[in-house]
Structure 1
Amino acid sequence: MSEALYGVPDVLAYLAGTWQVERTARDVAGDAEGHFSGTTVFTPGDDGGLLHHESGTFTWRGTPRPAERTLRFVPGDDPATAHVLFADGRPFHDLDLRTGRHTADHPCALDLYRGDFEVYDERHWRMRWRVAGPAKDLILTTTYTRPREPLTAARTPSTSPGLPGR
């Protein structure tokens, strides 16, 4: 995408709620590609952060399988930042969306995961992980889209959960 980026003043408020997820997983060395389709739901966690639960179907080489994962997003030093942890509490990466763009690294044994995050607006953001090393050669590209909800008198764009006020 070559769209202008959208700075996020409060990353946990931005992420809270439900997102539709589409992901491609490309094995560069093996010249194969898979696809994940599902949802990610960010709900309040016990630590003042968010619990991220992703579930859906991952199709690899024509075979669909159920897939899910859980992460924890805990508040960073600034509202625009968070520390992302695996479900068991191990650190994954930091996230800073003040400018609408962030790059994070995560070493995994001898492989390196480099994540690029871009926020396009209140309803769209993208995450791209390039995984390189002796064990893996992958590109994982995920788009997140917030489903449109019908507005009611009690729910306007400025009061919808997870969306910054206008």
Structure 2
Amino acid sequence: MGEFWPVRDVLTYLTGSWRVERTVRDLASDAEGRFTGTTIFGPLEEAEPLEDAGLLHQESGTFVWQGVARPAERTLRFLPGRDPGTALVQFSDGRPFHDLDLTSGRCVADHPCAADLYRGEFTVRDDHHWRSVWRVRGPAKDLVLTTGYARLA
């Protein structure tokens, strides 16, 4: 088996609950924060009957930055892509975020946001572990966000 684990059906692979551990590193100041929590990939409730259903990604946990712990959450939508190994990722309000193609077990995606560029690398290690690394660069940002996901039983 190679370094990456190919995914035949992204939405089936992601469905369920995942333990999340994320580090956020500000390369300009060398400050580092940490998020721990869970992500649940469940069915989209508002899917129209004739439309292929996607997944609702709901993440919640605690983010600690400079010694201060705060609750944190985010919601994304994962819609079917052009084939089962791909998905279209949207923000909760339906704005496009990035494409995701895990047919090889690895994907690089860009998301321009105002003056910043978010470049994400997604890697799948096996049926129970995957990871994302986002590099964020812009006039006021120089960050690396590294997230590990482990499937919960």
Give the one of 63, 67, 72 matched to 1:62: 67
Partner-residue secondary structure (3-state), 1:78: coil
* 1:144 corresponds to 2:144: no
Alignment gaps of 5+ in structure 2: 48-52
| Corresponding residue number in structure 1 for 2:50 | none
* 1:9 corresponds to 2:15: no
Compute the TM-score of the two structures, normalised by the length of structure 1: 0.86
| Corresponding residue number in structure 2 for 1:32 | 31
Q: Which runs of 4+ in 1 moved over 4 A?
A: none
CA deviation after TM superposition for structure 1 residue 17, in Å:
0.4
Cα separation, 1, equivalents of 2:89 and 2:128 = 21
CA deviation after TM superposition for structure 1 residue 136, in Å:
0.8
* Structure (1 or 2) with the greater strand fraction: 2
Give the one of 59, 79, 98 matched to 1:93: 98
Task: Look up the equivalent residue of 2:131 and give its one-letter code.
Answer: R
CA deviation after TM superposition for structure 1 residue 51, in Å:
0.2
| Corresponding residue number in structure 2 for 1:113 | 118
Partner-residue secondary structure (3-state), 1:13: helix
CA deviation after TM superposition for structure 1 residue 133, in Å:
1.0
How many aligned residue pairs are there?
146
Partner-residue secondary structure (3-state), 1:12: helix
- Backbone CA RMSD of aligned residues: 0.8
Residues 150-161 of structure 1: matches in 2 within 5 Å? none
